[in-house]
Structure 1
Amino acid sequence: MEKRLFWSLAAGGLLLAAGLGALRAEACTGITLRAADGSQVVARTIEWGGSDLNSRYVVTPRGYAQHSFAPDGGTGMSFTARYGYVGLAVERPEFVAEGLNEEGLSAGLFYFPGYGRYVDFDAAQRDVTIADLQVVPWILGSCRTLDEVRQAVARVRIVSVYPGASTVHWRFTDPSGSQLVLEIVDGQAHFYENRLGVLTNSPGFEWQMTNLCNYVNLHGGSAPGQSLDSVALAPFGAGSGMLGLPGDVTPPSRFVRAAFYQATAPRQATGEAAVRCCFQILNNFDIPIGVEFAAGQQPTDIPSATQWTAAADLTHRRLCYRTMYDSAIRCFDLTDIDFARVKYRSEPLDRVREQPVTPVRVR
């Protein structure tokens, strides 16, 4: 009965996971901005071109108890939220991909195909085993600082809820602005300090940082003119300092593009302004649905491969999002939520799955 219940509940998530092996739109792009007033803001996109992720938001109170799914159809470890949080989930409410807790800790997962490898599932150790797609809600409910994140990860075994699926890696940020990337390779957990604040997908984080050196010539503004054997050369227009910036949608190219767009963005005065700036920057990473399909293939019937974009102001405890169905920015203010009394809640990100169009009436 337990196995039947698990496969019934998780069917949507496992179908998603199984499809990840096709490498279609496993494209997440994360950036970080720091406002002049000290506010720390992290933002990201989430992509999947194979189907609608049926994304939801979850509001989780203190004391809410959950258990992890396990790849054998049973259960893994149980965990209870010490801290309340708000998260954005994909396919299942349990599969929170991005979230913020009441202490200002942010956590998010990013697909990491072909480079990560978790430990093998061991049924004898299920009490300390957690599914990769449930690490984010577990951390948000359990941890306040990055040191606590490190300690928590060291105590558990992270496994794939569906062994044939892509692995993921994770980004954790606290209100100080310190940020960690967690990657599990050959069963070993590796934490990297992310001073840049950018993250995409494969290859690994260290490789992505090294690859930035290939673009040492790029800079904001325009390139200076020069003479070539007495022939005057001049830039065609503004922004020529970024000539050569990669524009394709692969993870290495998005990492480079995100790094330079983030670095050249004007410093915003407040956290709210930085959140708006993050959404503007991440406009550049929306992936049109058609680019994911070869000629002759039928694209999925969704508006965009970029299904939603989120930004969190860790300082002021605000989590904002917009979706492929509605580009208006919606926001949760966690300081207005009493996590000791609020009931667990899970709701679709969009009630109406169509971009609203507001008429402009001229009389």
Structure 2
Amino acid sequence: MTKHLLLGAAAACGAFQAIACTGISLTAADGSYVQGRTIEWAQGPLSSRYVVLPRGHALRSLTPSGADGLALRARYGAVGLSVVAEEFIAEGINEAGLSAGLFFFPRYGGYRPYDPAQKERTVSDLQLVSWILTQCASIDEVKERLASIRVAGLEPASVVHWRIGEPSGRQVVLEIVGGEARFFENPVGVLTNAPGFEWQLTNLDNYVNLRPGNAEPLTLGTHTLLPTGSSSGMLGLPGDATPPSRFVRAAFYRATAPQQADTFGAVVQCFHLLNLFDIPIGIEHPAGEAPDIPSATQWTSAIDLTHRRVYYRTAYDSTIRCIDLARIDFASTPYRSGPLDREQRQPVVQVALDR
């Protein structure tokens, strides 16, 4: 177990140095709430899996010194989607409806130095989502219980921050900077990576001129300027793949999207909006050096916090799949995990033409 986890941790730390993620959230007219996200890595397959954590399941955190961190049992059953190793859940939800996910946060975050004397209450950053989902039922409980543990990075260059949401639509961002945990209420419902969340909100002020629809004609002297196409009110919206630009785009796309009537409409809309954040595999590598994977965006998820359902699709198969927590008896189900794709191949349905 120790060797397996440490090898997985080493791989995960290397992976997270190249991960770029975009998160959005939507509330339907019927009050149901959905959180969606992408997860990217351009170096090769992330070997992601779905994970079912039953109530009472025993967990043990890694630390920089081995598989000797906090030992605990799950108070709540949960379902998550992992990266690199099934112990590292990147996004998930528990039976109480609390959802959590991690996002790479390089350079701006920083944990307290690892203290071997406190290893028995230490949780690795890549396992904090599992801790949140199995131990807490609300954001306030996360805030209260976080003081009882120490978060440690498994490798200094790998730092993350977290998005935590409730079925009510409340969402917070957790960042650890200089060893101090800080929670931010999220008024725009989006999250990417670095810089920090407060900076990202301030940066939105630079785009105060953007509007949905078309810009009005403008006359300069005797010459009239006219839009060259539709959506000219959004001219100036940044289009690159950096975290600040993705944050701005996500905030405006989310804010201008028509509200859907019900949960499933919001789920489908999440996937449509997140299509706009797929990162092509070629742009992060010199010409001819990209690995043989379909996309840097390896999977996209939309979690229905109201009805406790996890929806996802992958770079290999764009068919939307669902795990319904209501169909799981977390008191009796065994621990389970499996690959997100049974076969890494896009199914194609032949159209039956009428004679």
TM-score interval for Structure 1 and Structure 2 normalised by the shorter chain: over 0.9
Q: Distance in 2 between matches of 1:147 and 1:52?
A: 36
SS at match of 2:192: coil
Distance across 2 between alignment mates of 1:353 and 1:202:
31
| C-alpha contact 1:62 1:84 (8 A) present in aligned 2 | yes
Q: Pick closer, same or farther for the CA change 1:93–1:19 going to 2, 3 Å.
A: closer
* 1:281-300 matched pairs, under 5 angstroms: 281-295=273-287, 298-300=289-291
Does residue 194 (structure 1) correspond to residue 194 (structure 2)? The answer is no
Q: Is the Cα contact below 8 Å between 1:181 and 1:193 reproduced in 2?
A: yes
Paired residue secondary structure (1:259):
helix
Question: 2:131: which partner in 1?
Answer: 138
**Residue 306 of structure 1 corresponds to which residue in structure 2?**
297
Q: Is residue 46 of structure 1 aligned with residue 42 of structure 2?
A: no
Q: How many residues align?
A: 354
Corresponding position: 1:245 with 2:237: yes
Amino acid across the alignment from 2:318: S
Distance in 2 of aligned mates of 1:251 and 1:233: 32
Match of 2:29 among 19, 36, 51: 36
Rounded to whole Å, the distance in 2 between the matches of 1:20 and 1:312 is: 22
Q: In the alignment, is residue 326 of structure 1 matched against residue 317 of structure 2? A: yes
Does 1:159 pair with 2:152? Answer: yes
The AA in structure 1 aligned to 2:3 is W
**Match of 1:214, SS?**
helix
Residue in 1 aligned with 2:142? 149
Equivalent of 2:13, from 17, 26, 34? 17
RMSD (Å) for aligned C-alpha atoms: 1.2
**Could you tell me how far apart the structure 1 residues matched to 2:217 and 2:273 are?**
28
Structure 2 unpaired stretches of 5+:
none
Question: Of the candidates 44, 49, 73, which is equivalent to residue 66 of structure 2?
Answer: 73
Question: Among 94, 100, 111, which residue is 2:93 paired with?
Answer: 100
Q: What letter is aligned with 1:68?
A: S
Q: Is the contact between residue 21 and residue 39 of structure 2 (CA under 8 Å) also seen in structure 1?
A: yes
Query: For residues 19 and 178 of structure 1, what CA distance do their matches in structure 2 show?
Result: 30
| Contact 2:11 2:84 (C-alpha < 8 Å) held by counterparts | no
- SS of 2:26's partner is strand
SS in 2 for 1:76: coil
Tell me which of 236, 250, 259 is aligned to 1:267.
259
Q: CA deviation at 1:120?
A: 1.1
Task: Kindly provide the amino acid, as one letter, of the partner of residue 336 in structure 2.
Answer: R
| 1:228-247 CA distance string (max 9 Å, x none) | 11211111111001000000
Unaligned ranges ≥5, structure 1: none
* TM-score after normalising by structure 1: 0.95
Q: Cα distance 1:9–1:74, how it changes in 2: closer, same or farther (>3 A)?
A: closer
2: CA distance, partners of 1:120 / 1:11: 22
Q: Residue in 1 aligned with 2:248?
A: 256
Please give the secondary structure, in 2, of the residue aligned with 1:125: helix
**Residue 58 of structure 2 corresponds to residue 58 of structure 1:** no
Give the drift of 1:28: 0.4
Query: Residue type matched to 1:300 in 2?
Result: P
SS in 2 for 1:182: strand
User: Within 2, Cα distance between the matches of 1:329 and 1:92?
Assistant: 23
> Are residues 1:7 and 2:16 paired?
no
CA contact (8 A) 1:100 1:106 kept: yes
TM-score under structure 2 length normalisation: 0.97
* Contact 2:25–2:35 (Cα < 8 Å) also in 1: yes
Output the amino acid matched with 1:15.
A
User: How far does residue 20 in structure 1 lie from its aligned partner after superposition?
Assistant: 4.1
Distance of 1:269 and 1:181 partners within structure 2: 27
Tell me how far 1:181 sits from its aligned partner. Answer: 0.4
For the structure 1 residues 11 and 116, does the alpha-carbon distance in structure 2 shift closer, same or farther, using more than 3 Å as the test?
same
Deviation at 1:126, TM superposition (A): 0.9
